[in-house]
Structure 1
């Protein structure tokens, strides 16, 4: 949790903001602005999100309401959607977590291969469940992945859809992680399941190399085939989610050139056993900081303006 900056809100809807969720210590593109906040009675701590720089607020609110109605394992549940058409927000239950880029910072570089495989298994399971409900996530990026002590939580639902309508060029929209954006969606293509597969490849590439668009030789040998296949420019050359489930369940996939050796995965042992020790320590520090946090009270913002309150009128 980071201190608020001069232009951050001190209150969003009924919640008092305690701090920024993202550290800002990495160059990753964020799909939305995220804050840790607390209810007036102090009984509830939440993650409150606002539209990112490139999002259309009205479209973003539609995606937030859609996410609220979903029940997908591994997707961070949205409890509330509020605000106005020009200033919407949503709230999700707070869980002790680090965005994936912050997990790399805590670890001191790319994450170990067993953890990346556990991450892959979690993402494939969640996105496969979404696809089974006829839902495309359209926002799988490193910053949308939250690492918790017990598993992965995926946020950023509908980022691509909220940034621009189908048919519109998305290559110059701020707030989109263009390293994670499937090529067919850059030119305005409709988000489809194989676009989420590209997102999985970008996330796993980032976790194992620190880059969403790596050189092939940078990728660990045991992950090279599956990540390269997921990142294929032509969607038809990417593996289906069902194939990826087999890859991460058995460590030995077939088809689309995907192959790997037998490796421990999240399906073989509790997620916590794959969590790198330095990341676990960072999570403990975050938990302690949030537990001890107190609202800073009224503050004057940059330019001596009064504290920014995010409008809650419907």
Structure 2
């Protein structure tokens, strides 16, 4: 868990904040995320707030849309609350690490087999949303939360936030520019092809530690699929189902995001998830005056 700072809220609705999910200085985090607990100690949640300087109304609207998306593969939006100026949503806590924290725990880029599993699961989740005509619009490394049973997508709709005058979408949301498709950086609309471009950036990050690596940095087995996902031409990008087939040939569609079985994870990542769980369990509510 990451310690609270003085500018962090002491309470989010009826929950008292315990810690931040994201480490100090984390890049590309398009919203604020906290571990929090009810006053009676009976409920621990992961609570989400819009990023400072973002558009709270637009963020709240995206959260409401995400709450209606019940497909597996997405971090659930449970309770919605707050005011127009201070909206929030929360869901029951489960041990989860943002992808940057996963690489930090592992000590560098992830093994190719794990990158394939992560990417295939995320591709399957996007495919299920796209079939319904829903675009995620916020795929990025920080938006991928890894649990013991695999990755879940959060940060729904991050790139749809309305930027202040003179600011780019990346500046407005905190997203890394490497996750923004060229057409979005030019002011174009968010669509399914933009989700695939961002998925390619996430795969690149997991495999190299960078969202915009040089081609030769990418492991040979992943080079072609990452490159085609990150094509500058939206029409040249594959559908998510095709990305799944490239990453995990023969995988049964629907078997990844709906799985409740643990996925094979490196020992150091399992240790980091276990440590977070233990720290949350042992955390005491802050004393008044925090």
What's the TM-score once normalised by structure 1's chain length? 0.85
SS of alignment partner, residue 179 of structure 1: helix
Q: Counterpart of 1:305?
A: none
Separation in 2, partners of 1:280, 1:163: 38
Contact 1:55/1:159 (<8 A) preserved? no
1:71-124 deviations in Å (ceiling 9; x for gaps): 121101111111111111111221101100000000000000000000011101
TM superposition shift of 1:270: 8.6
Residue 277 of structure 2 corresponds to residue 278 of structure 1? no
- Give the Å deviation of 1:174: 5.2
Contact 2:135 2:191 in 1 (8 A): yes
Distance 2:233 2:208 in 1: 23
The answer on 1:182 being equivalent to 2:187 is no
Unaligned runs of 5+ in 1: 253-264, 301-314
Pair 1:13-2:3 in alignment? no
Question: Following superposition of structure 1 onto structure 2, how do residues 173-212 of structure 1 map, counting pairs within 5 Å?
Answer: 173=172, 175-212=174-211
Tell me the residue number matched to 2:157. Answer: 158
**Of 271, 281, 289, which aligns to 1:291?**
281
Structure 1: distance between partners of 2:228 and 2:35: 37
Contact kept, 8 Å, 1:266 with 1:274, in 2: the verdict is no
Kept in 1: contact 2:124–2:256 (CA 8 A): no
Larger radius of gyration: 1
In 2, Cα distance between equivalents of 1:117 and 1:2? 29
Unaligned runs of 5+ in 2: none
After superposition, the CA RMSD in angstroms is 2.2
Structure 2 equivalent of residue 126 of structure 1: 125
C-alpha change, 1:80 and 1:151, in structure 2 (3 Å) is same
Distance in 2, matches of 1:80 and 1:162, equals: 21
Cα offset, 1:170, TM superposition: 2.7
Kept after mapping to 1: 8 A contact 2:148/2:263: no
Q: Aligned-pair distance for 1:27? A: 4.0
8 Å CA contact retained: 1:54, 1:175? no
Q: What's the secondary structure of 2:188's corresponding residue?
A: coil
Report which stretch shifted further, 205-214 or 88-97: 88-97
Q: What is the TM-score of this pair, normalised by structure 2?
A: 0.92
